[in-house]
Amino acid sequence: MFKIVSKEKLNDIVTRMYIEAPLIAKKGKAGQFIIFRIDEHGERVPLTIADTRPEDGTVGIIFQTAGKATRLLSEMNEGDEILDFVGPLGKPSELDGYKKACVIGGGVGTAIAYPSAKALKANGAEVDVIVGFRNKDIVILEDDFRACSDNLYVTTDDGSYGYHGFVTDKLRELLEGGKEYDLVIAIGPVPMMKFVCDLTKEHNIKTLVSLNPIMVDGTGMCGGCRVMVGGELKFACVDGPEFDGHEVDFDDLMMRNRTYSKFEKEEDHKCNLGLKQKAQA
Amino acid sequence: MAKANMRPDKVEMPAQDPKVRARNFDEVTYGYTEEMAVEEASRCLQCKHRPCVEGCPVNVQIPEFIHLITEGDFEGAYQKILETNVLPAVCGRVCPQETQCESRCVRGIKHEPVGIGRLERFVADYHRAHSNPVAAKVESNGHKVAVIGSGPSGLSCAGDLSKLGYEVVIFESLQTGGGVLSYGIPEFRLPKSIVKEEIKQLELDGVKLETNMVVGRILSIDELLHDYGFEAVYVASGAGLPKFLGIAGENGVGVYSANEYLTRTNLMKAYDDNYDTPIRKSKNVAVIGGGNVAMDAARTALRLGAENVYIVYRRSFAEMPARQEEVHHAQEEGIQFLNLNNPVEINLDEHGEVVGMTLIRMELGEPDSSGRRRPEPIPGSQHDIEVDTVIVSLGTDPNPLIKATTPGLDVTNWGGIIVNDEGKTSRDAVYAGGDAVTGAATVISAMGAGKVAAASIDRYIMSKEAEAEAEAN
């Protein structure tokens, strides 16, 4: 059993928890993920590691309520225990050697982008961060990002806070204004990652994306997480979850992510990002 | 000794009616009663040269246990099997006896061989029904061995080492032990309660099972050896990534690998409404492949409510790799075999949902490198079938994780771990076996490899100890 040592609501639908898992806390790196299962009857759900604290043996996760398992988890409290918590899974991000990076997060995907921004900063890179939300009520992690970036740009779709527009609008503005990056990391809803990649391809900037496809075991056995990258079949759990965004077939991924939209036993959910796909969590 | 009963055929094993069982997940067959078991056991000739034992990868003392059944000593028979096989209830159900022990049975020359598998299952079930689990009393020898993977190979290696006094820790990546016995083989062929009990017995004997531990990520083999005090590691990480055909439409909504389909159903219990696991509600299902896993997937789809389930196989029944008994059960239940057909394309609608599959008819040409006649497409014979779900069951490639995180571990060009006759890899103190070495094979051959490695690991650690003692003196 794995104990929830802290719980914090970041907004109405996004929760941050620290889970006691000393070995994962020691081993987990930016870009990797865990799979949790609340109880015997629950699903196995992958979540990207948001933070690790080896000193107190805890692993941070940030998730958006987007189905039964995440709803049940969000209703649990400090001191409660979950049945399974396995990781770190997937390959760590390779963030060495970059000088000037732009880290882009959309919605709850910002939570996944955070460890990458932090790691890039720690490696000595200059880091710009663009994080986008639907409106000001759901902005999360602003202070955390400010602490690990040189420039932080918050965007909202409705203009209720920060820059009025999408993250891609802000990125385009920066690039056209003469900003140069040797790396862009884009993590968020699949359409957002696709549009960022279209833009960075025009500017010939290496772009990493983190994919969160359908997954069961997370260890390279079920093949549910297959994605087409550079025309080849790859498995997000062992070959990823990060890939070269310019090589990823996003349309194929969006199609596959719809598999359970009408079969899911859990209650129907409306995507709070206003996007037609399961939100990144 | 009494003269053998010369009845030509095996005593039939009672089974659920095919029409009924095709719609439930209960076990297909019920097993022998005591009377049936004694009668079947009496067919054994008790041959002095014991050819059946030669045919068993773990050398079960077959004539001896069968003789004990004829005397009504069912518990004694169980203990006899247990001497060399830690999972009798599993092997009695899923071993391909027809190509192993039973294929060597002298009774099988003219008539049906003795039903060795059915008898093994009977004594294992008898034991479970009539005894309380007790711990085997073995004195610790003070040495620690790590086993990676709790499938049949890992369990068999762990069981043997534990009997020799080793402290064994099994690291399992999933939440439940058993490997393919839990995630792959369906409930209706191997009830999960049996797997659980066999594992519980090993735990009672002192084997430690650490679930949710993905070795290669959370701990490397080098860390197990250098930081955690294990003197040897047995890698039994099993089958890995599923193979796909590479045809158009394969990433469509409603295309599964057999691994995913079976894992959702068996490990994650998608068939049980008390579990949250989603699975597609299908009407017409095509399973691509002709192996045992394909049969399992097809029969599972039927039980999940599909109306028509097709096996699409490019060769004919004669070349089919699945066990005859499984093919027979599948046919009885109404699985439709589209043999000599090869998929060309999976057809999707505008939402990416599977709506059909285009097949091309095949004919058999000259034998290929596998000795089987090579299937060749018949030009112009393309035709469509209407399906909403496709399950690809073409085997697996080894999991790349251990290789990628263990420097100096040699693998073949297709990724299988290379071992010598003793199960030793290119790395000192590291042994391997089962599907991680051979690619997809049988439960019992994986168990056999686990046994071989256990003996080698014991020799290795004991010789190291002897050397250390010699140096000290």
- What value of ipTM does the predicted structure carry? 0.89
Closest by Cα among B74, B42, B79, B80 to B61: B80
Same domain, B169 and B221: yes
Q: Do B218 and B310 have their domain in common?
A: no
HEC states along B395-444? Answer: CEEECCHHHHHCCCCCECCCCCECCCCCCECCCCCEEECCHHHHCCCCHH
Q: Is B390 left (phi over 0), alpha (psi -120 to 50) or beta?
A: beta
- Do residues B250 and B340 share a domain? yes
B283–A contact, CB cutoff 8 A? no
* pTM for the structure as a whole: 0.92
pLDDT exceeds cutoff 70 at A32: yes
Give a yes or no: residue B137 inside a domain.
Answer: no
Among the partner-chain residues B251, B254, B401, the one whose CB lies closest to the CB of A220 is: B401
**Same domain, yes or no: B229 and B265:** no
CB atoms B352 and A87 under 8 Å: no
Check whether A259 has a pLDDT greater than 80: no
Count of structural domains within chain B: 3
Task: Looking at the structure, tell me whether residues B262 and B389 fall in a common domain.
Answer: yes
Indicate yes or no: CB of A87 within 8 angstroms of CB of B214: yes
Do B224 and B186 fall within a single domain? Answer: yes
pLDDT at A262: 58
- Whether residue B340 is contained in a domain is answered as yes
CATH number assigned to the domain comprising residue B228: 3.50.50.60
Quick check: B433 contacting A, CB < 8 Å? no
pLDDT of residue B440: 84
For residue B100, is it within any domain?
Answer: yes
- For residue A89, pLDDT over 80 is answered with yes
* For residue A10, pLDDT beyond 80: yes
Question: How distant is the Cα of A49 from the closest Cα of chain B, in angstroms?
Answer: 14
Q: How many residues make up chain B in this entry?
A: 473
Share of chain A above pLDDT 90, in %: 79
Question: How does the average pLDDT of chain B come out, rounded?
Answer: 94
CA distance B110 to chain A (A): 44
pLDDT at B398 over 90: no
Q: Is B200 on the interface with A (CB under 8 A)?
A: no
Give percent of chain B with pLDDT exceeding 70.
100
Domains of chain A, start order: 2-89 (2.40.30.10), 100-257 (3.40.50.80)
Residue B383 CA from chain centroid, whole number = 35
Is residue B50 domain-shared with residue B122, that is, in the same domain? yes
Quick: pLDDT tens for B85-101: 999 999 999 999 999 99
Same structural domain, B266 and B388: yes
Q: Which two tokens stand for residue B121?
A: 């299952």
Q: What per-residue confidence (pLDDT) applies to A186?
A: 95
Do the domain assignments include residue B3?
no
User: Is residue B1 very low, low, confident or very high in pLDDT (cuts 50, 70, 90)?
Assistant: low
Residues of chain B with Cβ-Cβ distance to A31 below 8 Å are none
Residue B11 inside a domain? The answer is no
Convert the pLDDT of each residue in B43-52 to its tens digit.
Answer: 999 999 999 9
pLDDT digits (tens, 9 = 90+) for A119-167: 999 999 999 999 999 999 999 999 999 999 999 999 999 999 999 999 9
Are B203 and B322 in the same domain?
A: no
* A22 has a chain B CB within 8 A of its CB: no
Greater pLDDT, B473 or A42: A42
Of A84, A228, A233, nearest to B175 by CB-CB distance is A84
CA–CA min distance A238, chain B (Å): 7
pLDDT of residue A271: 40
Say if residue B271's pLDDT is above 80: yes
Determine the residue of chain A that is closest to B263 in CA distance: A222
B350 interface with A at CB cutoff 8 Å: no
Q: Tell which of B100, B130, B160 closes a domain.
A: B130
- Domain-located, residue B113: yes
- CB-based contacts of A264-268 (< 8 A; 24+ apart in sequence): A264/A67, A264/B278, A265/A68, A265/B273, A265/B276, A265/B277, A265/B278, A266/A67, A266/A68, A266/A69, A266/A71, A266/B276, A266/B278, A267/A67, A267/A68, A267/A71
Give the other-Cβ count within 10 Å of A122's Cβ: 12
In the structure, what pLDDT confidence band is assigned to residue A257 with cuts at 50, 70 and 90?
confident
Same domain? For B343 and B436 the reply is no
Q: What angle do CA A281, A89, B442 make, to 5 degrees?
A: 120
- Mark yes or no for CB contact B277/A219 under 8 Å: no
> Cα dist. B390→B258, B321, B415 in Å?
9, 20, 27
- Calculate how close chain B gets to A135, using CA atoms only, in Å: 30
Would B273 be classed as within a structural domain?
Answer: yes
B223 pLDDT band (50/70/90 cuts)?
Answer: very high
Query: What pLDDT does B74 receive?
Result: 97
Q: Final residue of a domain: which of B108, B130, B152?
A: B130
Q: Is A267 on the interface with B (CB under 8 A)?
A: no
B418 and B386, same structural domain? no
Q: Establish if B181 belongs to a structural domain.
A: yes
CATH code, domain carrying B106: 1.10.1060.10
- Asked if B251 and A235 come within 8 Å (Cβ–Cβ), the reply is no
Q: Among B130, B156, B173, give the residue marking a domain's end.
A: B130
Residues A188-198: what's their mean pLDDT? Answer: 94
Residue percentage of chain B with pLDDT more than 90 = 87
Measured in angstroms, the CA of B250 and the nearest CA of chain A are apart by: 10
Whether residues B82 and B99 share a domain: the answer is yes
Domain of residue B151: give its range.
Answer: 144-240+398-472
B473 CB near a chain A CB, below 8 Å?
A: no
Whether B467 has a pLDDT exceeding 80, the answer reads: yes
**Which three-class secondary structure state does DSSP give residue A244?**
strand
Report CA B213 to chain centroid distance, whole Å. 21
The pLDDT of residue B325: 86
